[in-house]
Structure 1
Amino acid sequence: MSAPERTGHGAMVAVIRRWDGLRIVGQRDFRGVAQSAGAARRWVVELLGGHAPAELLETVELLVSEVVTNAVLHSDSAGPEGLVTVCVGLGRDLIHVEVIDDGSAVNVPEVRATDGESLSGRGLGWVNLLASVWGSSQDEGGGAVWFQLANDHASGPGSHLSN
């Protein structure tokens, strides 16, 4: 299995850099429907069950759910033929998750300010708060949001990288 390939040529260098030194443990396509968030998080937790402590798996579960939900709600993956691809990798002391969607002409992933009353708009806020590092990329082939979590919790949360 190789690094995810659902991006255009322009983003491939960034994808290769992100996956350098990682062992890919799983890649799976999910339909672009709301129920896919639950299916994706269950799949990722099962995949990583022997590779991370329970507390870290809870964080992975939350972030996968948020990022897949965003991909379904805010990209062209919600179309009749839409797909969301989830890729999981392990590094020496980290977990890497990448969610690839069909892209969007109008939506770019961003952390939005929310008030205490808002019922939506918190997905990337959680990613920014809990991930050691995260980023996004978008080109003509689609979009990707990825995050990494340190197994040793040594890295500080909230680092964002584009491409």
Structure 2
Amino acid sequence: MRTSEHQAEIATATKTFDRVANSVPEARHWAGKVYAEAGVDECLVEVCELLVSEVVTNAVRHGAGSKCTVSVLPDLWVEVWDDSPMLPRRRVVDSDSEGGRGLEFLEMLAPGYQVLHDATSGGKAVRFLPKGW
């Protein structure tokens, strides 16, 4: 995980969601649609959707503010932003746990993912590019 200051980039598509559990499948579907419309292979669309689900779930559970924003950048990096300055951290989980593996998924499926601080708002963005793109 690389951590640095956030610099705004022009997004291909951006959508803001309420920071509630029901937004997770909505964000997943929306990002998958953007990826599919960009002509990305179906397997990569599914990886994007999985990672968006994980990162938006983390924003909903551990973030701050009433909203989170998902952006797909022109180079197909995906960015999920929320108001919390708290960095994501790996949790120790049992082998039969159903949660707590979001960072593991990012490390496996989007090596080189980034966590970017937004000095202006005090929030952060988790940015990733699915492996294989």
TM over 0.5: yes
Q: 2:110 aligns with which of 116, 131, 134?
A: 131
SS state at 1:15 partner: coil
Q: Which has the higher strand share?
A: 1
Matches within 5 A, 1:41-52: 41-51=28-38, 52=40
The answer as to 2:2 corresponding to 1:15 is: no
Largest Rg, 1 or 2: 1
Distance in 1 between residues matched to 2:97 and 2:52, nearest whole Å: 21
Kindly provide the CA deviation profile for residues 132-161 of structure 1, in whole angstroms up to 9, marking residues without a partner as x.
Answer: 4201133552121110125xx27xxxxxxx
The residue matched to 1:28 in structure 2 has which SS?
A: strand
2:125 paired residue number: 144
Residue 71 of structure 1 and its aligned partner are, at CA, apart by: 0.2
User: How much does 1:118 deviate?
Assistant: 1.7
- Are residues 1:53 and 2:41 paired? yes
Aligned to 1:29: 16
d(CA) in 1 for partners of 2:116, 2:33: 27
Which residue number corresponds to residue 56 of structure 2? 68
How far the C-alpha of 1:102 sits from its partner, in A, is 1.2
The separation in 2 between residues aligned to 1:90 and 1:114, in whole angstroms, is: 35
SS class of match (1:69) = helix
CA drift at 1:111: 2.6
Per-residue CA distance 1:71-117 (angstroms, 9 max, x = gap): 0100113xxxx1000110132xxx2000000115xx42123332212
Opposite residue 74 of structure 1, the aligned amino acid is: H
The one-letter amino acid paired with 1:57 is: V
Structure 2: gaps of 5 or more residues: none
CA distance in 1 between counterparts of 2:116 and 2:21 reads 22
1:85 aligns with 2:87: no
Of 124-133 and 67-76, the range deviating more from structure 2? 124-133
Q: Does the CA contact (< 8 Å) of 1:112 and 1:125 recur in 2?
A: no
Aligned-partner Cα distance in 2 for 1:50–1:24: 15
Task: Identify which of structures 1 and 2 has the higher relative contact order when contacts are C-alpha pairs closer than 8 Å and 6+ apart.
Answer: 2
Aligned counterparts of 1:84 and 1:60: Cα–Cα separation in 2: 17
Moved over 3 A (4+): none
Using the alignment, how far apart are the partners of 1:109 and 1:42 within structure 2? 23
The two structures have a TM-score, normalised by structure 2, of 0.84
Count of aligned positions: 127
Q: Give the CA deviation at 1:49.
A: 1.0
Structure 1 residue 46, shift from structure 2 partner: 1.1
Identity %: 35
